[in-house]
Structure 1
Amino acid sequence: MEVSHAKGSYIFDKKGKAHLDFVAGVSACTLGHCHPKIVEATKKQIETYMHVMVYGEYIQDTAVKLTKLLAKHLPESLSTTYLTNSGTEGIEGAIKLAKRITGRSQIISAYNAYHGNTLGALSIMGFEERKSAFRPLMPDVAFITFNNEADLEKITTKTAGIVLETIQGGAGFILPKNDFLKKVRNRCNTTGTMLILDEIQPGFGRTGTLFGFEQFNCIPDILVMGKGMGGGMPIGAFSSSYENMKLLQNHPKLGHITTFGGHPVIAAAALATLKELIASDLMAETFEKEKLFRSLLRHKLIIEIRGIGLMLALILKDEETANQVILQCKERGLILFWLLFEGKAVRITPPLTITKEEIIVGCKILLDVLCAIENKK
């Protein structure tokens, strides 16, 4: 598609065709496209000042207001936030912080995990096919299977940190089961290991609460965020306690630095997004919209619907069916997308602002395509 413009839940191509967006830029456009409050906030900031200095040298109001508002809505142990340019950069910072806190080197992640594509994040990707071409990678990395309690014994007093997606994304929107995250938390408490939760995709209201971990009785030592945080603008962050974060100030000096992290224009967009999420009913409404999706999307070719809130994935009978659904829906004006490691999945992660009427319209297109595919077989 050659994009002309986008507004609300729609992207318009240069031929004038409207495409209903069930993907939101892969969970990035929390409030839809060109939300007026985000546009207003960024315009105002651009007219005031843009980049003036590397992050942390000068006090810049938008970044301070953003991190203070985050602190107000996070546990005290996550009260200090470092702003980055992307979620992946947040992961890199979190890995460094875990090593700095513990003095250890081992990092554990999960098979089929995705945390980004820079060197450290790639090293903890649990999918060898996507990283073998770039070896050698970061050493001393181990893997567990998500939801496998027996694997928690791999977390030892040699482990600096374990990095987990609160909900596994690329693997197929897999939720933690049987208090798995709580059990990881307990094991980390025993071994002195930092628990790093990657909320880049579930965070900022997509699962019905500001962050997904709130629903699983598990508070991490380090929280990573991104994607929907900026409402369509590029941003990430990692949060921990003040005591932990100040360790990056010395030994060595400037232990973690960035030129554009905390950029005032991007921070203004993120602040507007966060304010709107907190002030509105959008987060609570995600559960109602999830129920609507589940009630409408009933078809023989749909094996199950995974996920929670507006982080949903249709699991179809095979990869070919998933490919046909995504491509044929695009031709009919509905944007769907794939997941990285689960070929039978169809991503449904619309803007949180999507209306029930738009959901009904999109699901009708999707069901029509499923019926057309079924009739050809």
Structure 2
Amino acid sequence: MKSDFFRYQAQTTPHPLAMEISHAIGSYIYDTKNKAYLDFVAGVSACPLGHNHPKVTHAIKKQLDAYLHVMVYGEYIQKPAVELTKLLANNLPDPLEKTYLTNSGTEAIEGALKLAKRATGRSEIIAAHNAYHGNTMGAMSVMGFEERKQAFRPLLPDVQFITFNDASNLEYITTNTACVILETIQGGAGFIEPQNAYLEKVRNCCDTVGALLILDEIQPGIGRTGKLFGFEHYNCIPDILVTGKGLGGGMPIGAFTASGKLMDVLQDKPKLGHITTFGGHPVIAASALATLKEITGGHLMSEALEKETLFRQLLVHPLIKEIRGKGLMLAIITTSEKITNALILKSQEKGLILFWLLFEPKAIRITPPLTISNEEITKGCAIIIEILDEIHNQNH
């Protein structure tokens, strides 16, 4: 299997982890030798209820028996998609009420950018340095990391970059600006939270000049920060909300949400302003609906903040400079890239799954399922501290 993996499946890096998966349940992933790995990553924030959650798998199996794909997006009334978008609207502040379902987060970003241009009649987009919004051409155009995109130029024109949390840069938002697109919490940059009412200031600038504010909640959304969406912590409501990852409960999904008035501009002039074949797929929508019901109907969001406190209490070590983030969207920042790499690789050997962030080489991702138990957190953190002790002792 391993040789076929490298021969037939295209790789994204020269050295993938290449662990061969047998099955997964709860907070654990098992390899084909039946070794258990405690999962502190949750498919990069995409499995908020862990693996093989009974309510999610039941919803999927039930929908499988009814129908799969029947028509391109938006033509037929399909109950899972309608109920999903309604539940989203019921849990969002005004005016966010109408949702377009896509196949991935990056596709939702593309739709949001198109919507902003179409609605404002403007072309300029303002994004943030060290931002990550996906890897298609439009999403890459608003990626604030030149090293990752220089090989693929030319990209979209009229994109300007500002520094996240730097209010002095907000003068770049003008009457030429169609939209400002920001991650509510910067992910790839190292889980950077907005400070000093930064998002409120951006919101006010957009309102003043008639620009739209797009907030990318693909990582922080769906309960991970202790609220359903991260923006709820920062007194800022976007014009267009983008989500993905955790919304699907382990299935591929993206979505962008706006007011009915704003979203309706994609219907006409031209017609078919944004289209997709498989967006709103009934099986995926059923999975997402079950996931969203479980997260909004229980205590997982409030528990995420309690579990954050436990992580911060347990992860104290001379090689840990700081822990960034909120809820169960956390990043350990070590004292060097070398230590970060060693910790991630040695953790896998010891049965704990950790992972990197895109642009911050000293960061280690901790985004476990929201369902992870305190006992599992304690077990995983003990492995981290044990490895850091080994590294520390080797260097002294």
Same fold (TM over 0.5): yes
Indicate the SS of the match to 2:95. helix
Q: Over aligned residue pairs, what C-alpha RMSD do you find? A: 0.4
User: 2:234 and 2:282 mapped to 1: Cα distance?
Assistant: 33
User: 2:372 and 2:35 mapped to 1: Cα distance?
Assistant: 19
User: 1:279 and 1:165 mapped to 2: Cα distance?
Assistant: 26
Match of residue 323 from structure 1: 341
Q: 2:151 aligns with which of 105, 115, 133?
A: 133
Match of residue 364 from structure 2: 346
Match of residue 185 from structure 2: 167
Q: Which amino acid aligns with 2:233?
A: Q
User: 1:143-182 maps to which residues of 2 (within 5 A)?
Assistant: 143-182=161-200
Alignment coverage as a number of residue pairs:
377
Indicate the SS of the match to 1:131. helix
Correspondence 1:120 to 2:138: yes
Q: 1:201 aligns with which of 219, 223, 247?
A: 219
Match of residue 44 from structure 1: 62
Aligned-residue offset at 1:280: 1.0
Match of residue 16 from structure 2: none
User: 2:212 and 2:366 mapped to 1: Cα distance?
Assistant: 32
Indicate the SS of the match to 1:82. strand
Q: Which amino acid aligns with 1:275?
A: K
User: 1:329 and 1:75 mapped to 2: Cα distance?
Assistant: 41
Correspondence 1:97 to 2:111: no
Match of residue 272 from structure 1: 290
Correspondence 1:88 to 2:86: no
Correspondence 1:299 to 2:320: no
Match of residue 210 from structure 1: 228
Correspondence 1:220 to 2:238: yes
Indicate the SS of the match to 2:23. strand
Correspondence 1:188 to 2:222: no
Indicate the SS of the match to 2:29. strand
Correspondence 1:283 to 2:283: no
Q: Which amino acid aligns with 1:46?
A: L
Indicate the SS of the match to 1:307. strand
Q: 2:97 aligns with which of 69, 74, 79?
A: 79
Which runs of structure 1 show a deviation greater than 4 angstroms over 4 or more consecutive aligned residues? none
User: 2:65 and 2:350 mapped to 1: Cα distance?
Assistant: 40
Match of residue 392 from structure 2: 374
Aligned-residue offset at 1:302: 0.2
Indicate the SS of the match to 1:78. coil
Tell me the TM-score normalized by structure 1: 1.00
Indicate the SS of the match to 1:19. strand
Tell me the TM-score normalized by structure 2: 0.95
User: 2:281 and 2:97 mapped to 1: Cα distance?
Assistant: 20
User: 2:296 and 2:321 mapped to 1: Cα distance?
Assistant: 35
Q: What are structure 2's unaligned runs of at least 5 residues?
A: 1-18
Q: What are structure 1's unaligned runs of at least 5 residues?
A: none
Q: 2:275 aligns with which of 257, 267, 272?
A: 257
User: 1:87 and 1:136 mapped to 2: Cα distance?
Assistant: 22
User: 1:93 and 1:78 mapped to 2: Cα distance?
Assistant: 16
Indicate the SS of the match to 2:356. coil
Q: Which amino acid aligns with 1:357?
A: E
Match of residue 241 from structure 1: 259
Match of residue 350 from structure 2: 332
Q: Which amino acid aligns with 1:324?
A: A
User: 1:196 and 1:236 mapped to 2: Cα distance?
Assistant: 14
Aligned-residue offset at 1:69: 0.6
Match of residue 59 from structure 1: 77
Q: What are the Cα deviations for residues 199-258 of structure 1, in whole angstroms up to 9, with x where unaligned?
A: 000000000000000000000000000000011000000000000000000010110110
